[in-house]
């Protein structure tokens, strides 16, 4: 390798994890995460309104079939774990699945923000995944209190053996943290790989493009799996929350 090209390899700047920060009233906001989160939300809302306008009881379109498959799978999971009484959880789980999927797939598009070569996924920012985990935590614990009453909710932590109560409380508090970190870790590593592939110098251009395409296809698959896991765990946490057979 010519020595003149070595500095170029060593000077590769990988901006994964760096954020455009807005400072408002003494608080820092990751502007790129907010922007891409809004973009993912708009995509989900746009798809929902489009399907609402195009839905038919006759021959469905491919998009409608895909949507029906997603809703059908979620409805089956909810009815199996919670029963028909909790069918109101279906819209929540479907929304979480589609939103996380859209957020995961944002990084597959070229960079449109802050002069980057790729658009960073908002789920590669732990702030967003913590927020999603906190939403699931509040909703599932609220459902537990409604199902058991406040007294029953507290007593569930003190079921025999009682000395496990602190561990049960800690386990409950860790659920949103593990949910958030699992999603963040997978998407953050995917962002690093895409940045590395795009940083390959121009004399490796054909290999860079080939590897980038293959990795992005794999990243799409990982994005689906992670959205699936997040939605499934939301349903399972909801099931554990309303169960009266033990904590």
- pLDDT tens per residue, range 117-171: 557 788 888 888 999 999 999 999 999 998 888 988 888 888 888 888 899 899 8
- Predicted confidence at residue 102, as pLDDT, reads 92
Residue 199 has pLDDT above 80, yes or no: no
pTM of the model: 0.77
In whole angstroms, what is the distance from residue 223 CA to residue 150 CA? 37
Question: Do the Cβ atoms of 14 and 199 come closer than 8 Å?
Answer: yes
Q: Give the CB-side neighbour count of residue 30, counting CA atoms within 13 A.
A: 18
The pLDDT > 70 percentage for the chain reads: 76
Query: Range with the lowest mean pLDDT among 9-13, 181-185, 191-195?
Result: 9-13
User: What's the pLDDT band for 194 if we cut at 50, 70, 90?
Assistant: low
Quote the CA–CA distance of 32 and 113 in Å, as a whole number: 7
State the Rg of the chain over Cα. 22
The model's pLDDT over 75-96, given as tens digits with 9 standing for 90+, comes to 888 888 788 788 888 988 999 9
Q: Which position has the token pair 């500095």?
A: 7
Report how far apart the first and last C-alpha atoms of the chain are (Å, whole number): 62
Packing angle, helices 165-198 and 126-155, rounded to 10: 170
Residue 29 has pLDDT above 70, yes or no: yes
Averaged over 238-242, what is the pLDDT? 87
Phi, psi angle pair for 16, to nearest 5°: -60, 130
SS3 state at 22: strand
Q: What is the DSSP letter of 5?
A: G
């Amino acid at each position: 390798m010519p020595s003149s090209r070595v500095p170029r390899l060593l000077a590769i700047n990988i901006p994964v994890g760096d954020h455009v920060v807005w400072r408002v009233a003494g608080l820092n906001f990751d502007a790129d995460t907010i922007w891409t989160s809004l973009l993912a939300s708009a995509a989900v809302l746009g798809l929902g309104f489009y399907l609402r306008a195009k839905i038919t009881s006759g021959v469905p379109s491919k998009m409608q079939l895909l949507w029906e498959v997603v809703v059908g799978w979620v409805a089956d999971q909810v009815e199996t774990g919670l029963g028909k009484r909790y069918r109101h959880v279906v819209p929540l789980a479907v929304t979480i699945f589609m939103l996380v999927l859209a957020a995961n797939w944002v990084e597959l598009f070229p960079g449109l923000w802050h002069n980057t070569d790729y658009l960073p996924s908002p789920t590669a920012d732990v702030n967003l995944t913590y927020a999603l985990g906190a939403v699931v935590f509040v909703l599932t614990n609220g459902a537990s209190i409604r199902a058991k009453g406040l007294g029953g909710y507290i007593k569930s932590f003190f079921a025999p053996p009682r000395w496990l109560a602190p561990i049960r409380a800690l386990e409950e508090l860790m659920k949103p943290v593990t949910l958030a970190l699992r999603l963040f870790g997978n998407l953050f590593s995917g962002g690093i790989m895409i940045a590395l592939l795009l940083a390959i110098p121009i004399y490796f251009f054909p290999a860079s493009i080939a590897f980038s395409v293959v990795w992005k296809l794999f990243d799409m698959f990982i994005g689906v799996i992670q959205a699936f896991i997040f939605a499934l765990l939301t349903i399972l946490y909801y099931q554990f929350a309303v169960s009266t057979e033990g904590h």
